[in-house]
Homo-oligomer: A and B are copies of this chain.
Amino acid sequence: MTVPKVSEAHLERRREQILDGARSAFARWGYQGTTVARLEEEIGLSRGAIFHYFPSKWELFWALATRDQSRALEAFVAGGLDAMLGVFFDGDPAWLGVYFEAIGILARDKEQFERWINRTPELVRQAQERIEQMQADGELRDDVALEDISRFIGIVADGVVIRRAFALDLDQEPFVRLVRDALAPRK
């Protein structure tokens, strides 16, 4: 008997299919409202196939949230503040609403929470290096500590996500100008 060879590319495509479908299901039904039957319907695969790749609903959410964070941090490392904030400005409100259900869960689960804030350590490190470089190049103020700048950016990004989750008006240009001015080198 020969075991059929499943290529890496095939596994990756399947994984993406599952994540994209799960994202739609969560956006449509919310985290609590997303049943296994709804996941099957939205993804187009059986629960067996889905949970072969991701052992639980929570792990599906986790993988999606990690993918989002990676995109935002990669945008920051590659293109700075504007590029990163752009990722959030373009976010889908229905999906972003799911974060807040998850945060409600995380805020009461110390262990998951530790895992949550450390979910992309390598990219966080790169983003910190980028901030340090921008301070050295005179693009960001250096009279405020690196960690205070990175917290400020994180807080602003979280606030944008909330506003987007509600699909509230938000002009990107004046907002980004205020953030830039907060972090501009002092003359």
Contact = CB atoms under 8 A, between A and B. Distances in A.
Q: Report copies per complex.
A: 2
A166 B32 contact: no
B117 A177 contact: no
Given A98-B104, A107-B97, A159 B166 contact: no
Nearest to A160: B155
Interface string A124-148: 0000000000000000000011001
B97 A108 contact: yes
Interface residues of A, number: 50
19 contacts: A30-B104, A30-B105, A96-B107, A97-B103, A97-B108, A99-B100, A100-B102, A100-B103, A100-B107, A101-B105, A144-B174, A144-B178, A148-B178, A149-B178, A152-B178, A155-B175, A158-B159, A158-B163, A181-B182
